[in-house]
Structure 1
Amino acid sequence: MINKLVPTVAEALSEVADGSTVLIGGFGTAGIPNELIDGLIEQGARDLTVVNNNAGNGETGLAALLKTGRVRKIICSFPRQADSQIFDGLYRSGQIELELVPQGTLAERLRAAGAGIGAFFTPTGYGTEMAKGKETREINGRHQVLEYPIHGDVALIKAERGDRWGNLTYRQSARNFGPVMATAARFTVASVYEVAELGQMDPEAIVTPGLFVDRVVRIERQATQGGGFKVAA
């Protein structure tokens, strides 16, 4: 019987090893799997390469992981924002390596990994520092840059709903990088707010099929000071 549900975040992350490339979903704070990141901090894996859209906000989530000093390199599109003080400090002191990737190229490099594409050409970045040292070619009158897939050892993603087979749906913009990261990693862990019985999820609405998910862990919605619930957008 296939059952990918695990009772705790710790169990879900038990196989993350030192030196792993970890794909972390999220667009800023939308869809960021904070509970899984907190679990990774507690788990203790070191010398990590992290792939995310940005480089952390404030002092929590991805920023908290960077603060532990256990991330060797980050691959992202937007490393600096008003509240990216953790990354700024680490980068300026030479404690973390940065690979800057345009956002669309980042998504396509992840998609290429999941689709088995060896490499692709894109006009994005041509003539800039991001094309330095890369192969370029003129195709149909446009200059293009050769880019390679980003493969992950582990993907950590947040979904809205899932079942014990690992089928997932997302909530609005929280979907962002989750689906492509799930396909690009050898091992995918998803947190969900709701666990559905088999057959309850409309097959036409499933975004990430269970084929791409290895473990599912249910998390609680966070209560706010106003007495309601904080919904992860």
Structure 2
Amino acid sequence: MLKEWDHLPKYMQSEAVRPYYEKLKKKKISLALKRVFDVVMSTFMLIFLSPVMLIISIAVVMDSKGGVFFRQERVTQYGRKFRIFKFRTMVANADKLGSQVTVKNDMRVTKVGAVIRKYRIDELPQLINIMLGDMSYVGTRPEVTKYVKRYTPEMMATLLLPAGVTSEASIKYKDEDKLLEAAADVDEVYVKQVLPGKMQYNLESLIKFSFLGEILTMIKTVIAVIK
């Protein structure tokens, strides 16, 4: 649920954020349904997919040295920091060997990692984050702190809701690694070219927010992955 305006972080109490806040404030029922759905479905999916996740875990460990999960600090609702769960798809300490975004044919990606990234299977452990309330099924993808620091005042509106596993922006930019492939400075190209485009979709989604709309986004995501 939304906090009262005066209880938001000071950097979010701006006129750029207010229109989005006022829109969401009118959607109390949809926001409540969103959280109930997240808890119930994430619990069910974790139980149902546990055998599959166990097999993937074994494959990840056997393929290369390192743990099963990739844990990294990300930013979610109201600027709160949390550690995301993902199946490890890169070599150990990959974040110290290059950019924090991944490009096509990234040499840090393992053989098993390439396969599970292709079908977005590496995102499955985020069901844990959803159950804990760190994330939601649908919402702005959680960024690392250094990218959030580059947000414009308007972009801060995306922090009114929990970060998500998928979104309209995620569908439109599902091949963003190809966009960054030829970049000399991946971080700068991401912040100045890719991020603004993704944020346009994220901000539009806040204005149009509805529980049924989020269900539709989830269906579109499944279709996009299958294609």
**TM (normalized to structure 1)?**
0.26
| Larger strand percent | 1
More helix by share: 2
